[in-house]
Structure 1
Amino acid sequence: MNRILFFLLATALLLPAPAFAWGALGHRLVASLAWDDLTPATRRQINALLAGEPEPTLAGIASWADDLRDNDPVLGKKTARWHYVNIGEHDCEYDLPRDCPGGNCVVEAIRAQTAILSDQRRPRAERLQALKFVVHFVGDAHQPLHAGFARDKGGNDIQVNWNGNGTNLHTLWDSRMLVSTRRDEAAWLAYLRTLPRPGIAPVNLPPPAARWAEQSCRVVTQPGFYPPRARLQQSYVDQHLPIAEKQLRLAGVALAGTLNAALGRH
Protein backbone atom coordinates (compact mmCIF):
# COMPACT_ATOMS: atom_id res chain seq x y z
CA MET A 1 0.00 0.00 0.00
CA ASN A 2 1.50 3.35 -0.93
CA ARG A 3 2.00 6.14 1.61
CA ILE A 4 -0.74 8.35 0.21
CA LEU A 5 -3.37 5.61 0.45
CA PHE A 6 -2.23 4.75 3.96
CA PHE A 7 -2.56 8.40 4.98
CA LEU A 8 -6.06 8.65 3.52
CA LEU A 9 -7.25 5.51 5.26
CA ALA A 10 -5.73 6.54 8.57
CA THR A 11 -7.30 9.98 8.28
CA ALA A 12 -10.69 8.41 7.54
CA LEU A 13 -10.59 6.77 10.95
CA LEU A 14 -10.26 10.15 12.66
CA LEU A 15 -12.81 12.21 10.78
CA PRO A 16 -16.58 12.06 11.17
CA ALA A 17 -18.18 10.17 8.30
CA PRO A 18 -21.61 10.65 6.73
CA ALA A 19 -24.11 7.82 7.12
CA PHE A 20 -23.90 6.34 3.66
CA ALA A 21 -24.43 2.59 3.35
CA TRP A 22 -21.09 0.85 3.08
CA GLY A 23 -19.31 4.04 2.08
CA ALA A 24 -17.74 4.33 -1.34
CA LEU A 25 -15.47 1.33 -0.76
CA GLY A 26 -18.27 -1.04 0.15
CA HIS A 27 -20.45 0.01 -2.77
CA ARG A 28 -17.57 -0.42 -5.21
CA LEU A 29 -16.91 -3.90 -3.83
CA VAL A 30 -20.55 -4.94 -4.26
CA ALA A 31 -20.53 -3.69 -7.85
CA SER A 32 -17.28 -5.47 -8.72
CA LEU A 33 -18.48 -8.72 -7.17
CA ALA A 34 -21.67 -8.48 -9.19
CA TRP A 35 -19.73 -7.98 -12.43
CA ASP A 36 -18.11 -11.39 -11.89
CA ASP A 37 -21.50 -13.10 -12.24
CA LEU A 38 -23.05 -11.16 -15.12
CA THR A 39 -23.88 -12.88 -18.38
CA PRO A 40 -22.21 -11.68 -21.58
CA ALA A 41 -25.52 -10.23 -22.74
CA THR A 42 -25.92 -8.25 -19.54
CA ARG A 43 -22.37 -6.95 -19.73
CA ARG A 44 -22.91 -5.73 -23.30
CA GLN A 45 -26.00 -3.79 -22.29
CA ILE A 46 -24.27 -2.25 -19.28
CA ASN A 47 -21.22 -1.26 -21.30
CA ALA A 48 -23.49 0.46 -23.82
CA LEU A 49 -25.31 2.38 -21.09
CA LEU A 50 -22.08 3.40 -19.35
CA ALA A 51 -20.32 4.64 -22.47
CA GLY A 52 -19.18 8.21 -21.83
CA GLU A 53 -19.23 7.99 -18.03
CA PRO A 54 -16.09 9.30 -16.26
CA GLU A 55 -15.42 5.78 -14.97
CA PRO A 56 -17.53 3.51 -17.20
CA THR A 57 -17.76 0.55 -14.82
CA LEU A 58 -20.30 -0.64 -12.28
CA ALA A 59 -17.86 0.28 -9.52
CA GLY A 60 -17.49 3.73 -11.05
CA ILE A 61 -21.21 4.49 -10.65
CA ALA A 62 -21.75 2.65 -7.38
CA SER A 63 -21.77 5.74 -5.15
CA TRP A 64 -23.54 8.07 -7.57
CA ALA A 65 -26.79 7.96 -5.57
CA ASP A 66 -24.97 9.12 -2.42
CA ASP A 67 -23.07 11.81 -4.31
CA LEU A 68 -26.40 13.37 -5.31
CA ARG A 69 -26.53 15.01 -1.89
CA ASP A 70 -23.73 17.30 -3.04
CA ASN A 71 -23.99 17.16 -6.83
CA ASP A 72 -27.76 17.43 -7.26
CA PRO A 73 -29.37 18.42 -3.93
CA VAL A 74 -32.88 18.51 -5.40
CA LEU A 75 -32.75 14.94 -6.67
CA GLY A 76 -30.78 13.95 -3.58
CA LYS A 77 -33.55 15.23 -1.31
CA LYS A 78 -36.26 13.64 -3.44
CA THR A 79 -34.59 10.23 -3.26
CA ALA A 80 -33.23 10.38 0.31
CA ARG A 81 -35.78 7.90 1.66
CA TRP A 82 -35.04 5.44 -1.14
CA HIS A 83 -31.85 4.33 0.65
CA TYR A 84 -33.49 2.52 3.58
CA VAL A 85 -36.58 0.95 5.11
CA ASN A 86 -37.37 0.71 8.83
CA ILE A 87 -38.78 -2.69 9.76
CA GLY A 88 -36.97 -3.52 13.00
CA GLU A 89 -39.99 -2.55 15.09
CA HIS A 90 -42.13 -5.02 13.12
CA ASP A 91 -40.21 -8.27 13.65
CA CYS A 92 -38.38 -7.62 10.37
CA GLU A 93 -41.49 -8.29 8.30
CA TYR A 94 -42.00 -5.86 5.43
CA ASP A 95 -45.47 -4.47 4.79
CA LEU A 96 -45.69 -2.07 1.86
CA PRO A 97 -48.54 0.22 3.03
CA ARG A 98 -47.09 0.51 6.52
CA ASP A 99 -43.36 0.63 5.78
CA CYS A 100 -43.16 2.32 2.39
CA PRO A 101 -45.87 4.93 1.87
CA GLY A 102 -45.70 6.39 -1.59
CA GLY A 103 -43.06 3.87 -2.59
CA ASN A 104 -40.40 5.89 -0.77
CA CYS A 105 -38.10 3.20 0.60
CA VAL A 106 -35.27 1.04 -0.65
CA VAL A 107 -37.50 -1.96 -1.38
CA GLU A 108 -39.84 -0.16 -3.76
CA ALA A 109 -37.04 1.98 -5.18
CA ILE A 110 -35.22 -1.17 -6.28
CA ARG A 111 -38.37 -2.53 -7.86
CA ALA A 112 -39.27 0.72 -9.62
CA GLN A 113 -35.78 1.45 -10.92
CA THR A 114 -35.29 -2.11 -12.13
CA ALA A 115 -38.50 -1.79 -14.12
CA ILE A 116 -37.17 1.37 -15.79
CA LEU A 117 -33.82 -0.25 -16.47
CA SER A 118 -35.36 -3.29 -18.11
CA ASP A 119 -37.69 -1.27 -20.37
CA GLN A 120 -35.94 -0.97 -23.73
CA ARG A 121 -38.48 1.63 -24.85
CA ARG A 122 -37.26 4.12 -22.28
CA PRO A 123 -34.73 6.82 -23.25
CA ARG A 124 -31.12 5.81 -22.68
CA ALA A 125 -30.62 8.59 -20.12
CA GLU A 126 -33.49 7.28 -17.97
CA ARG A 127 -32.18 3.73 -18.12
CA LEU A 128 -28.66 4.86 -17.24
CA GLN A 129 -29.95 6.73 -14.21
CA ALA A 130 -31.97 3.67 -13.22
CA LEU A 131 -28.86 1.50 -13.51
CA LYS A 132 -27.02 3.85 -11.15
CA PHE A 133 -29.85 3.66 -8.64
CA VAL A 134 -30.16 -0.13 -8.83
CA VAL A 135 -26.43 -0.71 -8.34
CA HIS A 136 -26.46 1.50 -5.26
CA PHE A 137 -29.75 0.49 -3.68
CA VAL A 138 -29.14 -3.26 -3.83
CA GLY A 139 -26.01 -2.54 -1.82
CA ASP A 140 -28.01 -0.39 0.61
CA ALA A 141 -30.57 -3.14 1.16
CA HIS A 142 -27.80 -5.44 2.41
CA GLN A 143 -26.35 -2.99 4.93
CA PRO A 144 -28.15 -4.19 8.08
CA LEU A 145 -28.80 -0.76 9.54
CA HIS A 146 -30.56 0.35 6.36
CA ALA A 147 -33.33 -2.05 7.33
CA GLY A 148 -33.27 -1.53 11.08
CA PHE A 149 -35.14 0.52 13.65
CA ALA A 150 -36.84 3.85 13.05
CA ARG A 151 -36.47 4.74 16.73
CA ASP A 152 -32.69 5.19 16.45
CA LYS A 153 -32.63 6.23 12.78
CA GLY A 154 -30.89 3.08 11.68
CA GLY A 155 -28.21 3.35 14.35
CA ASN A 156 -27.37 6.98 13.59
CA ASP A 157 -28.50 7.97 17.09
CA ILE A 158 -26.36 5.31 18.80
CA GLN A 159 -23.10 7.02 19.72
CA VAL A 160 -20.06 4.79 20.18
CA ASN A 161 -16.36 5.27 20.81
CA TRP A 162 -13.87 2.93 19.21
CA ASN A 163 -10.09 3.22 19.39
CA GLY A 164 -10.51 6.58 21.08
CA ASN A 165 -12.62 8.05 18.26
CA GLY A 166 -16.28 8.98 18.49
CA THR A 167 -18.71 7.88 15.81
CA ASN A 168 -22.13 6.24 15.63
CA LEU A 169 -23.17 2.65 15.07
CA HIS A 170 -24.39 3.32 11.53
CA THR A 171 -21.10 4.82 10.43
CA LEU A 172 -19.17 2.03 12.09
CA TRP A 173 -20.98 -0.47 9.87
CA ASP A 174 -20.90 1.77 6.80
CA SER A 175 -17.17 2.17 6.66
CA ARG A 176 -15.18 2.21 9.88
CA MET A 177 -14.94 -1.56 10.26
CA LEU A 178 -13.92 -2.01 6.62
CA VAL A 179 -11.34 0.78 6.70
CA SER A 180 -9.84 -0.53 9.94
CA THR A 181 -8.37 -3.54 8.13
CA ARG A 182 -6.19 -1.19 6.04
CA ARG A 183 -6.87 -3.29 2.95
CA ASP A 184 -7.15 -1.26 -0.22
CA GLU A 185 -9.94 -1.90 -2.72
CA ALA A 186 -8.02 -4.50 -4.72
CA ALA A 187 -7.06 -6.42 -1.59
CA TRP A 188 -10.62 -6.33 -0.30
CA LEU A 189 -11.98 -7.59 -3.59
CA ALA A 190 -9.46 -10.42 -3.74
CA TYR A 191 -10.31 -11.38 -0.17
CA LEU A 192 -14.08 -11.34 -0.67
CA ARG A 193 -13.72 -13.55 -3.72
CA THR A 194 -12.17 -16.21 -1.47
CA LEU A 195 -15.24 -16.34 0.78
CA PRO A 196 -17.91 -18.99 0.22
CA ARG A 197 -19.97 -17.77 -2.68
CA PRO A 198 -23.73 -17.86 -2.08
CA GLY A 199 -25.67 -19.76 -4.68
CA ILE A 200 -27.28 -17.59 -7.32
CA ALA A 201 -31.01 -18.22 -7.36
CA PRO A 202 -32.68 -16.89 -10.50
CA VAL A 203 -34.08 -13.42 -9.85
CA ASN A 204 -37.42 -12.68 -11.45
CA LEU A 205 -38.82 -9.22 -11.94
CA PRO A 206 -39.65 -7.44 -9.76
CA PRO A 207 -36.60 -8.49 -7.71
CA PRO A 208 -37.13 -9.86 -4.16
CA ALA A 209 -35.95 -6.68 -2.48
CA ALA A 210 -38.28 -7.16 0.50
CA ARG A 211 -36.63 -10.49 1.26
CA TRP A 212 -33.18 -8.87 1.17
CA ALA A 213 -34.27 -6.14 3.56
CA GLU A 214 -35.87 -8.63 5.93
CA GLN A 215 -32.67 -10.70 6.00
CA SER A 216 -30.62 -7.57 6.73
CA CYS A 217 -33.01 -6.57 9.50
CA ARG A 218 -32.57 -9.94 11.17
CA VAL A 219 -28.86 -9.19 11.48
CA VAL A 220 -29.70 -6.03 13.43
CA THR A 221 -31.98 -7.89 15.84
CA GLN A 222 -29.41 -10.55 16.76
CA PRO A 223 -28.18 -10.46 20.38
CA GLY A 224 -25.03 -8.41 20.70
CA PHE A 225 -25.52 -6.33 17.55
CA TYR A 226 -26.20 -3.28 19.70
CA PRO A 227 -23.19 -2.94 22.02
CA PRO A 228 -23.98 -2.81 25.77
CA ARG A 229 -21.84 0.29 26.27
CA ALA A 230 -20.66 3.21 24.18
CA ARG A 231 -16.97 2.35 24.41
CA LEU A 232 -16.46 -0.56 22.03
CA GLN A 233 -14.01 -3.34 22.57
CA GLN A 234 -12.07 -4.77 19.65
CA SER A 235 -14.03 -7.97 20.24
CA TYR A 236 -17.13 -6.26 18.83
CA VAL A 237 -15.40 -5.64 15.50
CA ASP A 238 -13.79 -9.08 15.51
CA GLN A 239 -17.25 -10.62 15.89
CA HIS A 240 -19.15 -8.44 13.45
CA LEU A 241 -16.72 -7.71 10.62
CA PRO A 242 -17.24 -11.23 9.19
CA ILE A 243 -20.99 -10.52 9.13
CA ALA A 244 -20.39 -7.31 7.18
CA GLU A 245 -18.20 -9.26 4.76
CA LYS A 246 -20.96 -11.82 4.27
CA GLN A 247 -23.47 -9.05 3.59
CA LEU A 248 -21.20 -7.57 0.92
CA ARG A 249 -20.90 -10.99 -0.71
CA LEU A 250 -24.66 -11.48 -0.63
CA ALA A 251 -25.20 -8.03 -2.10
CA GLY A 252 -22.92 -8.82 -5.04
CA VAL A 253 -24.88 -11.97 -5.81
CA ALA A 254 -28.23 -10.19 -5.46
CA LEU A 255 -27.11 -7.35 -7.73
CA ALA A 256 -25.86 -9.76 -10.38
CA GLY A 257 -29.14 -11.65 -10.35
CA THR A 258 -31.11 -8.43 -10.62
CA LEU A 259 -29.09 -7.08 -13.54
CA ASN A 260 -29.16 -10.39 -15.38
CA ALA A 261 -32.94 -10.51 -15.01
CA ALA A 262 -33.33 -6.92 -16.18
CA LEU A 263 -30.85 -6.93 -19.06
CA GLY A 264 -29.67 -10.43 -19.90
CA ARG A 265 -32.69 -11.44 -21.92
CA HIS A 266 -32.41 -8.70 -24.53
Structure 2
Amino acid sequence: MMRPVLAALLLVPSVASAWGPQGHRLVARLAWTELDPAARAQVRQLLAGESDPTLHGIANWADQLREHDPDLGRRSTKWHYVNIGEHDCSYDTARDCPQDDCVVEAIRQQTGILADTSRPAAERRQALKFVVHFVGDVHQPLHAGHAHDKGGNTFQVNLDGDGSNLHRLWDSGLLNTAGLDDDAWMSRLQDMPLAVSAGEGPAAWAEASCRVVLEPGFYPAGPRIDGDYVTTWLPVAQAQLRRGGSHLAEVLNQALGAQADDPQG
Protein backbone atom coordinates (compact mmCIF):
# COMPACT_ATOMS: atom_id res chain seq x y z
CA MET A 1 0.00 0.00 0.00
CA MET A 2 1.52 3.31 -1.09
CA ARG A 3 1.42 6.23 1.32
CA PRO A 4 -1.06 9.00 0.38
CA VAL A 5 1.39 11.80 1.18
CA LEU A 6 3.90 10.34 -1.25
CA ALA A 7 1.30 9.96 -3.96
CA ALA A 8 0.40 13.62 -3.42
CA LEU A 9 3.98 14.82 -3.76
CA LEU A 10 4.20 13.30 -7.24
CA LEU A 11 1.17 15.26 -8.38
CA VAL A 12 2.75 18.66 -7.81
CA PRO A 13 3.08 20.68 -11.01
CA SER A 14 6.38 20.74 -12.83
CA VAL A 15 8.31 23.92 -12.11
CA ALA A 16 11.55 25.25 -13.49
CA SER A 17 12.78 26.63 -10.22
CA ALA A 18 14.96 24.88 -7.73
CA TRP A 19 12.94 24.21 -4.61
CA GLY A 20 9.76 25.52 -6.17
CA PRO A 21 8.29 28.86 -5.07
CA GLN A 22 8.20 27.97 -1.38
CA GLY A 23 11.82 26.89 -1.23
CA HIS A 24 13.02 30.08 -2.90
CA ARG A 25 10.97 32.18 -0.49
CA LEU A 26 12.49 30.34 2.44
CA VAL A 27 16.08 30.89 1.26
CA ALA A 28 15.33 34.60 0.90
CA ARG A 29 13.65 34.85 4.31
CA LEU A 30 16.54 33.06 5.98
CA ALA A 31 18.98 35.46 4.34
CA TRP A 32 17.07 38.50 5.53
CA THR A 33 17.50 37.42 9.15
CA GLU A 34 21.30 37.48 8.67
CA LEU A 35 21.67 40.74 6.75
CA ASP A 36 23.68 43.62 8.14
CA PRO A 37 21.73 46.85 8.77
CA ALA A 38 23.42 48.57 5.82
CA ALA A 39 22.58 45.73 3.45
CA ARG A 40 18.98 45.76 4.64
CA ALA A 41 18.76 49.46 3.93
CA GLN A 42 20.05 48.94 0.38
CA VAL A 43 17.58 46.11 -0.23
CA ARG A 44 14.70 48.30 0.95
CA GLN A 45 15.83 51.14 -1.29
CA LEU A 46 16.28 48.95 -4.37
CA LEU A 47 12.95 47.16 -3.95
CA ALA A 48 10.89 50.26 -3.19
CA GLY A 49 7.90 50.28 -5.52
CA GLU A 50 7.77 46.50 -6.04
CA SER A 51 4.40 44.89 -5.45
CA ASP A 52 6.02 42.92 -2.61
CA PRO A 53 9.20 44.85 -1.73
CA THR A 54 10.86 42.05 0.22
CA LEU A 55 13.56 39.51 -0.60
CA HIS A 56 11.07 36.68 -0.48
CA GLY A 57 8.63 38.70 -2.54
CA ILE A 58 11.04 38.81 -5.48
CA ALA A 59 12.66 35.40 -4.92
CA ASN A 60 10.77 33.71 -7.76
CA TRP A 61 10.97 36.59 -10.25
CA ALA A 62 13.66 34.86 -12.35
CA ASP A 63 11.35 31.91 -12.98
CA GLN A 64 8.47 34.18 -14.02
CA LEU A 65 10.44 35.87 -16.81
CA ARG A 66 9.05 33.50 -19.41
CA GLU A 67 5.68 35.15 -18.89
CA HIS A 68 6.73 38.77 -18.31
CA ASP A 69 9.92 39.11 -20.37
CA PRO A 70 10.27 36.13 -22.73
CA ASP A 71 13.49 37.41 -24.33
CA LEU A 72 15.32 37.79 -21.02
CA GLY A 73 13.79 34.52 -19.90
CA ARG A 74 15.33 32.73 -22.87
CA ARG A 75 18.70 34.44 -22.47
CA SER A 76 18.90 33.55 -18.81
CA THR A 77 17.73 29.92 -19.08
CA LYS A 78 21.18 28.41 -18.57
CA TRP A 79 21.96 30.74 -15.66
CA HIS A 80 19.90 28.53 -13.34
CA TYR A 81 22.19 25.46 -13.31
CA VAL A 82 25.56 23.91 -14.08
CA ASN A 83 26.27 20.27 -15.00
CA ILE A 84 29.33 18.89 -13.21
CA GLY A 85 28.19 15.42 -12.13
CA GLU A 86 30.09 13.78 -14.97
CA HIS A 87 33.30 15.43 -13.76
CA ASP A 88 33.27 14.15 -10.17
CA CYS A 89 31.73 17.47 -9.11
CA SER A 90 34.83 19.48 -9.95
CA TYR A 91 33.97 22.83 -11.55
CA ASP A 92 36.04 24.17 -14.42
CA THR A 93 34.91 27.47 -15.91
CA ALA A 94 36.13 26.88 -19.48
CA ARG A 95 34.70 23.36 -19.63
CA ASP A 96 31.50 23.74 -17.64
CA CYS A 97 30.47 27.32 -18.28
CA PRO A 98 31.26 28.47 -21.83
CA GLN A 99 30.32 32.10 -22.40
CA ASP A 100 29.81 32.33 -18.61
CA ASP A 101 26.39 30.76 -19.24
CA CYS A 102 25.74 28.90 -15.98
CA VAL A 103 24.63 29.53 -12.43
CA VAL A 104 28.14 29.90 -10.99
CA GLU A 105 29.17 32.72 -13.30
CA ALA A 106 25.68 34.24 -13.28
CA ILE A 107 25.91 34.68 -9.50
CA ARG A 108 29.33 36.27 -9.85
CA GLN A 109 28.32 38.61 -12.65
CA GLN A 110 25.01 39.67 -11.19
CA THR A 111 26.62 40.26 -7.80
CA GLY A 112 29.12 42.55 -9.53
CA ILE A 113 26.30 44.55 -11.09
CA LEU A 114 24.49 44.73 -7.75
CA ALA A 115 27.57 46.04 -5.97
CA ASP A 116 28.33 48.71 -8.60
CA THR A 117 26.70 51.91 -7.35
CA SER A 118 27.58 53.70 -10.60
CA ARG A 119 24.98 51.61 -12.43
CA PRO A 120 21.34 52.70 -12.72
CA ALA A 121 19.08 51.59 -9.90
CA ALA A 122 16.97 49.53 -12.32
CA GLU A 123 19.99 47.44 -13.33
CA ARG A 124 20.97 46.87 -9.73
CA ARG A 125 17.39 45.96 -8.82
CA GLN A 126 17.29 43.35 -11.57
CA ALA A 127 20.66 41.99 -10.46
CA LEU A 128 19.37 41.69 -6.89
CA LYS A 129 16.42 39.64 -8.15
CA PHE A 130 18.73 37.36 -10.09
CA VAL A 131 21.17 36.90 -7.19
CA VAL A 132 18.43 36.00 -4.71
CA HIS A 133 17.06 33.37 -7.06
CA PHE A 134 20.32 31.91 -8.35
CA VAL A 135 21.85 31.41 -4.92
CA GLY A 136 18.76 29.36 -4.12
CA ASP A 137 19.16 27.44 -7.38
CA VAL A 138 22.78 26.46 -6.80
CA HIS A 139 21.87 24.82 -3.48
CA GLN A 140 19.34 22.47 -5.07
CA PRO A 141 21.54 19.43 -5.73
CA LEU A 142 20.13 18.62 -9.15
CA HIS A 143 20.91 22.12 -10.40
CA ALA A 144 24.56 21.05 -10.20
CA GLY A 145 24.14 17.43 -11.26
CA HIS A 146 24.41 15.38 -14.43
CA ALA A 147 24.05 16.60 -17.99
CA HIS A 148 23.04 13.17 -19.32
CA ASP A 149 19.68 13.23 -17.52
CA LYS A 150 19.23 17.01 -17.53
CA GLY A 151 19.58 17.31 -13.78
CA GLY A 152 17.26 14.43 -13.02
CA ASN A 153 14.50 15.68 -15.33
CA THR A 154 14.62 12.54 -17.45
CA PHE A 155 15.00 10.15 -14.49
CA GLN A 156 11.48 8.90 -13.95
CA VAL A 157 10.02 7.96 -10.58
CA ASN A 158 6.71 6.28 -10.06
CA LEU A 159 4.48 5.78 -7.07
CA ASP A 160 1.21 3.90 -7.19
CA GLY A 161 0.87 4.60 -10.90
CA ASP A 162 1.65 8.30 -10.66
CA GLY A 163 4.66 9.32 -12.73
CA SER A 164 7.05 12.15 -12.03
CA ASN A 165 10.78 12.77 -12.23
CA LEU A 166 13.59 13.14 -9.73
CA HIS A 167 14.12 16.84 -10.41
CA ARG A 168 10.51 17.68 -9.62
CA LEU A 169 10.70 15.58 -6.48
CA TRP A 170 13.65 17.65 -5.24
CA ASP A 171 12.21 20.96 -6.42
CA SER A 172 9.17 20.77 -4.22
CA GLY A 173 7.92 17.24 -3.61
CA LEU A 174 10.16 16.51 -0.63
CA LEU A 175 9.21 19.78 1.07
CA ASN A 176 5.52 19.21 0.37
CA THR A 177 5.53 15.96 2.36
CA ALA A 178 6.02 17.98 5.57
CA GLY A 179 2.80 19.92 5.01
CA LEU A 180 4.26 23.12 6.49
CA ASP A 181 3.56 26.71 5.55
CA ASP A 182 6.39 29.24 5.22
CA ASP A 183 6.29 30.36 8.85
CA ALA A 184 6.42 26.80 10.16
CA TRP A 185 9.29 25.98 7.83
CA MET A 186 11.18 29.06 9.01
CA SER A 187 10.90 27.92 12.61
CA ARG A 188 12.19 24.49 11.70
CA LEU A 189 15.07 25.77 9.57
CA GLN A 190 16.21 28.44 12.01
CA ASP A 191 16.39 25.81 14.76
CA MET A 192 18.90 23.80 12.74
CA PRO A 193 22.52 24.08 13.86
CA LEU A 194 24.60 24.98 10.85
CA ALA A 195 28.22 25.90 10.30
CA VAL A 196 28.80 27.76 7.04
CA SER A 197 32.32 28.36 5.80
CA ALA A 198 32.71 31.99 4.82
CA GLY A 199 34.27 33.05 1.54
CA GLU A 200 33.76 29.81 -0.41
CA GLY A 201 31.74 31.30 -3.26
CA PRO A 202 29.37 29.88 -5.89
CA ALA A 203 31.79 27.38 -7.44
CA ALA A 204 32.30 25.67 -4.08
CA TRP A 205 28.56 25.73 -3.42
CA ALA A 206 27.88 24.05 -6.76
CA GLU A 207 30.50 21.40 -6.07
CA ALA A 208 29.00 20.69 -2.64
CA SER A 209 25.51 20.41 -4.12
CA CYS A 210 26.79 18.06 -6.80
CA ARG A 211 28.37 15.80 -4.19
CA VAL A 212 24.90 15.26 -2.71
CA VAL A 213 23.78 13.93 -6.09
CA LEU A 214 26.62 11.39 -6.08
CA GLU A 215 25.80 10.02 -2.64
CA PRO A 216 24.60 6.39 -2.58
CA GLY A 217 20.84 6.18 -2.75
CA PHE A 218 20.21 9.68 -4.07
CA TYR A 219 19.12 8.06 -7.31
CA PRO A 220 16.63 5.32 -6.42
CA ALA A 221 17.53 1.82 -7.61
CA GLY A 222 14.37 1.79 -9.71
CA PRO A 223 11.51 4.10 -10.59
CA ARG A 224 9.35 3.07 -7.64
CA ILE A 225 10.01 5.01 -4.44
CA ASP A 226 8.54 4.83 -0.96
CA GLY A 227 8.55 6.67 2.34
CA ASP A 228 12.07 5.56 3.19
CA TYR A 229 13.43 7.85 0.49
CA VAL A 230 11.67 10.86 1.99
CA THR A 231 12.84 9.95 5.49
CA THR A 232 16.44 9.78 4.28
CA TRP A 233 16.59 12.78 1.98
CA LEU A 234 14.21 15.39 3.38
CA PRO A 235 16.75 16.34 6.11
CA VAL A 236 19.36 16.81 3.37
CA ALA A 237 17.04 19.13 1.46
CA GLN A 238 16.42 21.09 4.65
CA ALA A 239 20.14 21.50 5.25
CA GLN A 240 20.63 22.75 1.68
CA LEU A 241 17.92 25.36 2.18
CA ARG A 242 19.53 26.48 5.40
CA ARG A 243 22.94 26.78 3.77
CA GLY A 244 21.42 28.66 0.87
CA GLY A 245 19.99 31.28 3.20
CA SER A 246 23.28 31.87 4.97
CA HIS A 247 25.25 31.98 1.74
CA LEU A 248 22.80 34.46 0.22
CA ALA A 249 23.17 36.68 3.26
CA GLU A 250 26.94 36.48 2.89
CA VAL A 251 26.75 37.58 -0.75
CA LEU A 252 24.39 40.45 -0.06
CA ASN A 253 26.33 41.67 2.98
CA GLN A 254 29.50 41.81 0.91
CA ALA A 255 27.83 43.50 -2.06
CA LEU A 256 25.68 45.97 -0.14
CA GLY A 257 26.88 46.16 3.44
CA ALA A 258 29.25 49.10 2.99
CA GLN A 259 26.91 51.16 0.82
CA ALA A 260 24.44 52.59 3.27
CA ASP A 261 24.13 53.96 6.74
CA ASP A 262 21.02 52.58 8.41
CA PRO A 263 21.12 53.13 12.16
CA GLN A 264 17.61 51.75 12.50
CA GLY A 265 18.55 48.34 11.03
Task: Report TM bin, short chain.
Answer: over 0.9
Could you tell me which of 239, 248, 256 is aligned with 1:263? 256
**Contact 1:83–1:137 under 8 Å retained in 2:** yes
TM-score between the two structures when normalised by the length of structure 1: 0.92
1:220-239 to 2 correspondences below 5 Å: 220-239=213-232
TM-fit CA distance, 1:19: 3.3
TM-fit CA distance, 1:18: 2.2
> Secondary structure of 1:167's match?
strand
**Contact 1:13–1:176 under 8 Å retained in 2:** yes
**Contact 2:10–2:169 under 8 Å retained in 1:** no
Cα distance in 1 between the residues matched to 2:249 and 2:102 = 21
More displaced, 235-244 or 158-167?
158-167
**Contact 2:111–2:255 under 8 Å retained in 1:** yes
What are the Cα deviations for residues 189-244 of structure 1, in whole angstroms up to 9, with x where unaligned? 1111111132462x4xxx71100000000000011110001010110011000000
What letter corresponds to residue 77 of structure 1 in structure 2? R
Match of 2:244 in 1: 251
1:127 paired to 2:124: yes
TM-fit CA distance, 1:265: 1.2
1:1-266 to 2 correspondences below 5 Å: 14-162=11-159, 164-199=161-196, 201=198, 203=199, 208-266=201-259
Q: Count matched residues.
A: 253
TM-fit CA distance, 1:12: 7.1
> Secondary structure of 2:215's match?
coil
Cα distance in 2 between the residues matched to 1:16 and 1:46 = 31
What are the Cα deviations for residues 121-173 of structure 1, in whole angstroms up to 9, with x where unaligned? 00000000000000000000100000000000000000102365321000000
Q: For the structure 1 residues 120 and 180, does the alpha-carbon distance in structure 2 shift closer, same or farther, using more than 3 Å as the test?
A: same
The structure with the greater share of residues assigned to helix is 1
Cα distance in 2 between the residues matched to 1:90 and 1:200 = 23
**Contact 1:200–1:257 under 8 Å retained in 2:** no
> Secondary structure of 1:60's match?
coil
**Contact 2:78–2:101 under 8 Å retained in 1:** yes
TM-score between the two structures when normalised by the length of structure 2: 0.92
**Contact 1:198–1:253 under 8 Å retained in 2:** no
Q: Which segments of structure 1 move beyond 4 Å, counting only runs of 4 or more?
A: 10-13
Structure 1 residues without counterparts, runs of 5 or longer: 1-9
Cα distance in 1 between the residues matched to 2:123 and 2:226 = 46
Cα distance in 1 between the residues matched to 2:12 and 2:185 = 22
TM-fit CA distance, 1:187: 0.6
Cα distance in 1 between the residues matched to 2:83 and 2:10 = 28
Cα distance in 1 between the residues matched to 2:229 and 2:9 = 20
TM-fit CA distance, 1:97: 0.5
> Secondary structure of 2:83's match?
coil
Q: For the structure 1 residues 48 and 200, does the alpha-carbon distance in structure 2 shift closer, same or farther, using more than 3 Å as the test?
A: farther
Q: For the structure 1 residues 58 and 163, does the alpha-carbon distance in structure 2 shift closer, same or farther, using more than 3 Å as the test?
A: farther
